Amino acid sequence: MGAVIPGSDASTVVNIHCTDAWDDNQAYCAGGGGFALSPVGGALPMETMVPGVYTYAGMPSGVGYQFLDGGGQPLPLDKTSRHDTGVAIRTGDQSVPIHFRMVKTSNDLTSGSLNIRMYLGCNGTEWANRNDVGSTLDIIVNADVITQTCSLSNPDTQVQLPKVARSAFNGVGSAAGSTPFTLDFQCDADADARFNISDITDLGNSSDAIKLLESSTASGLGVRLLHQGNPVRLAPSQMFDQGGSEFPLRNLETSQILISLPFSAEYVQTDVPVVSGSVQAQAIVTIDYN
């Protein structure tokens, strides 16, 4: 659960110009958040078991949808069933980035389609672009179940890094404590896939250093992954073809096989100074099918 459905990422930008007299000097918008996405019609989104992921009645089973802000963080649903974009409402020109994607919520997947209609508005009461035509987004979902799949043999792979002294680091980018591990995938016959790795703490992270979890007591450090000695570039928002390192998973055999890829993890200095303490970081693997 929680994996992004391959090929489901879609992004757009809504450009808005508000004059001084817009919306009675924004009288209807005072005291609220930013421009928000609200459902059209009577259907209301519902929470799923995956945080930040929602579903609609009639949506294919096993999948949900997610909106992200400009930094790649999920937009939660508030008590009035609105997704606040975080873009403040003001007079003048402004752009509202909208990023949508589908997420796996269970292994009970079915094929199907659904049209999700959302409108961009001010506090859920006023159109962002004067009328419904200029403010409504139609999100068409077509889900096809792929039977030739790959999956992590151990979806909760843990790597124990050794203790190192602060003196092992001599500046930003220096590393210590390399520990080897493997990622093992079970791939069905004729499977043709690829995977990337993203930072759970910061989904927008496109560097090669996974940020520390809040539970860490150390600072000035991150965790870097390497494959065959080369740093792994993290995939921003779990997206493909966006600069993150990608790794092929291909099975040309007529039966399921195990594909093992060697990696290593190490501490990497990201700031000054390095403060001693515990280090915890978490990444997520996303599989895409060709």
H helix or E strand, kind and range, residue 25: helix 23-26
Q: pLDDT of 164-192, one tens digit each?
A: 999 999 999 999 999 999 999 999 988 99
Q: Confirm if 180 and 225 have CB atoms less than 8 A apart.
A: no
* DSSP code string of 35-69: EEEEE-SS---EE-SSTT-EE-TTSPTTEEEEEE-
Domains of the chain with bracketed CATH: 10-143 (2.60.40), 150-289 (2.60.40.1090)
Q: In terms of pLDDT, which residue wins out, 146 or 74?
A: 74
pTM of the model: 0.62
Highest mean pLDDT, choosing among 36-40, 85-89, 163-167: 163-167
Q: In terms of pLDDT, which residue wins out, 13 or 226?
A: 226
Q: pLDDT of 228-269, one tens digit each?
A: 999 999 998 888 888 999 999 999 988 999 999 999 999 999
Q: What 3-state class would DSSP assign to 131?
A: coil
The pLDDT value given to residue 33: 67
Q: Tell me what percent of the residues of the chain surpass a pLDDT of 70.
A: 87
- The answer on pLDDT for 3 being more than 80 is no
